[in-house]
Structure 1
């Protein structure tokens, strides 16, 4: 994309998209982006407006940069208020059908101002910038996401598990077999490959694993998958919660990220002589991300509800440590082995959840990877047990207030975000903290359960 010009329109892609939409009898396209509160905002267009939307964009106010999870509005030095307008430009590569919503397609957008300059608060643009910086250093990254959610059969806003069979138990599949099969069919029909689907630990909780892709495509497909999961559940009379916690004191919903990378076409998390096969570049990446993690938590676990999930010995990654195949470590190395090639060895970030904006999450992780290319701090020894049983193990921040304070100290990340995005994001975090200042855990869970 060239500053001052709309995204270059590929006429061949446009005609192919129009033919595909016509074939599947699509009537409307939801154009979506994710805001600083982690909410997917949308403008929809009739299908016959696709050509015009791609050439001139679709208008939308920038005020949503200052929206909270509950649609209250705050402000920062650069965001909030009634002034200004933006243009949404659809990325045709993200356009996909939504099978449980007949007649609908979904596409991700990049945001520009009225002079057709990239909007500095566009989180998708932030991710693009980090990819470009890494590309200049001959670094290529893939990301895969795990999505956890819980389904409820209640109709009054409370949470009543749609199935209460055993954790990872076959009974849960039996209880909701039609739902599970339909969901997999819908995901497949949308072009999404699912590597695994299984019941999770908490009542009514399930998980899918999506394959590793280039980061922009991976995040776009994450949003598509969540849309399909939610709309499939609705067709069966279920409410779907992606919130960090669906029930007080319950095991929460994570938003784990798997990241692999190469430098000069060589893998960094495998093929080396460091712990678990790490290369020096991979060790520097983990050390840097581990050092940044208390501040990164404000981006990857940005809701006050997130800290109700980050409980020791719950596989939530509540401690600032890394480990080789250690599911209690915040950073888990999926190491090279007979079944995992050096190129597929990857780092799993376990402490994040789905109240986060995934474009910001991916961009922040890539900013850390970029910073590590100059060398990171010393990498501590991997944690070889549950850190809850280690006297000097360091907890990650136990409140959003603490993680936001840590974020302010990460100058390389704030510089990568730019002042407009960084200040707007932190303003939203502080406003949500103020909103919940005197709230009980029960109130926090009740207000966030169905939002994300």
Structure 2
């Protein structure tokens, strides 16, 4: 999966597209799904016959800019106009035949204007821009997004139980086979806590590639589930009052092949740069919820005692803290996990926002506060993150870091969607919110 857009010129990209289309056709691929994620976190798609892939690479595929203000229920935020057009341009570096959808391939897209320049509301471009800002300082990021889901035929079985693995062994084997055929490196797969819940973790990659991978994994799980007569939900809460699906983001900061989260003189081996980066993220977490836990349903998941990370604190291997530090068994494994995020997030917005916050921490030389070693609910100084989307929106509006990083168009579109969804679900109880969002993600 490619982490940055190709720097080749139009003629070379056209030639690459012709070659890719011929190779896909030779493998029996008939169509290419072009995927992106809107600001509500819903995956959208247009598709082209494989013979049209070169045209899509050269000229893009039309898509209305109104998708910037789509809500989770497919309505649009007030004030959205019908005029205008954008171009969806597939990234050939991330093009992959889909193992669980014979005859299909998939590629993420960059959204551009009619003249070919980046659309200021393109979330994937935003994530790439944030990664490039890190690279400009001689640093690199490795990232990975955990994928949790619930199937609608859970059967019996204990949390993390072998009995549940046995009951769904054919299904999970097919998930693994499909991911391997798509050249995705799976680190682990297992039953999770809630009934019918599973998790798969992939090897870390560049930040944009990690977001691409999260989308591809979810697409693959959906397709394999359908072939087994199952339906998969990645919603933050699938059953009211129970543990929900997370979309935890793992990341580490690197320089010249060295993991800066290990081998330093700071706490648990952190270098000053790694600590400043994480301190920036921790500082901005209340505002980052608008990007990483973006739905009304997201805040039904952020409940104390469920390892969802509802407290704005950090700690070594503390699964109740929003920011969990992991030293690992080897220096290259050190990373931080942001536990308060879920799969309702647009992964490009989530990754880009976190990188911008970390960069702000680097530039300001921030330090982490004292860690929380136990249950944050009983700790002095461990504050809850904003509870409820409206409260998170207030924190977002107060963040100068995110406002500057997103740019005026993308910042405003995100704000419009969040405000509209607060109104959309106003007055509904937990059961109604969960029912309305269960199959949207």
Same fold flag (TM > 0.5): yes
Deviations 1:290-310, CA, capped at 9 Å, x for gaps: 110011011100000011111
Indicate the residue corresponding to 1:157 in structure 2: none
Take 1:382 and 1:421, find their aligned partners in 2: how far apart are those partners? Answer: 34
Indicate the residue corresponding to 1:352 in structure 2: 341
Indicate the residue corresponding to 2:305 in structure 1: 313
Counterpart of 2:33 (choices 14, 24, 30) is 30
Counterpart of 2:23 (choices 14, 20, 24) is 20
After superposition, the CA RMSD in angstroms is 1.7
Aligned-residue offset at 1:135: 1.4
Indicate the residue corresponding to 2:286 in structure 1: 294
Take 2:431 and 2:54, find their aligned partners in 1: how far apart are those partners? Answer: 48
Counterpart of 2:389 (choices 394, 397, 400) is 400
Deviations 1:346-374, CA, capped at 9 Å, x for gaps: 11111000000000001001111221222
Unaligned runs of 5+ in 2: none
Task: Verify: 1:251 aligned to 2:243, yes or no.
Answer: yes
Task: Verify: 1:95 aligned to 2:95, yes or no.
Answer: yes
Take 2:145 and 2:131, find their aligned partners in 1: how far apart are those partners? Answer: 18
Contact 2:14 2:57 (C-alpha < 8 Å) held by counterparts: no
How does the TM-score come out when normalised to structure 2? 0.95
Counterpart of 1:389 (choices 370, 378, 384) is 378
Take 2:11 and 2:195, find their aligned partners in 1: how far apart are those partners? Answer: 48
Counterpart of 2:330 (choices 335, 340, 345) is 340
Deviations 1:369-405, CA, capped at 9 Å, x for gaps: 2212223443111111121222542111111111110
Q: 1:408 aligns to what SS in structure 2?
A: helix
Unaligned runs of 5+ in 1: 154-161
Take 2:227 and 2:429, find their aligned partners in 1: how far apart are those partners? Answer: 33
The number of residues matched between the two structures is 436
Query: 1:21-60, aligned counterparts within 5 Å?
Result: 21-60=24-63
Indicate the residue corresponding to 1:71 in structure 2: 74
Take 1:299 and 1:129, find their aligned partners in 2: how far apart are those partners? Answer: 16
Counterpart of 2:268 (choices 245, 253, 276) is 276
Task: Verify: 1:62 aligned to 2:52, yes or no.
Answer: no
Q: 2:384 aligns to what SS in structure 1?
A: coil
Contact 1:88 1:110 (C-alpha < 8 Å) held by counterparts: yes
Indicate the residue corresponding to 2:122 in structure 1: 122
How does the TM-score come out when normalised to structure 1? 0.93
Which sits farther off after the overlay, 172-181 or 350-359?
172-181
Contact 1:9 1:55 (C-alpha < 8 Å) held by counterparts: no
Aligned-residue offset at 1:234: 1.0
Task: Verify: 1:111 aligned to 2:111, yes or no.
Answer: yes
Deviations 1:224-276, CA, capped at 9 Å, x for gaps: 11001011111111111100000011100000011011145543211111111
Take 2:184 and 2:420, find their aligned partners in 1: how far apart are those partners? Answer: 36
Task: Verify: 1:417 aligned to 2:409, yes or no.
Answer: no
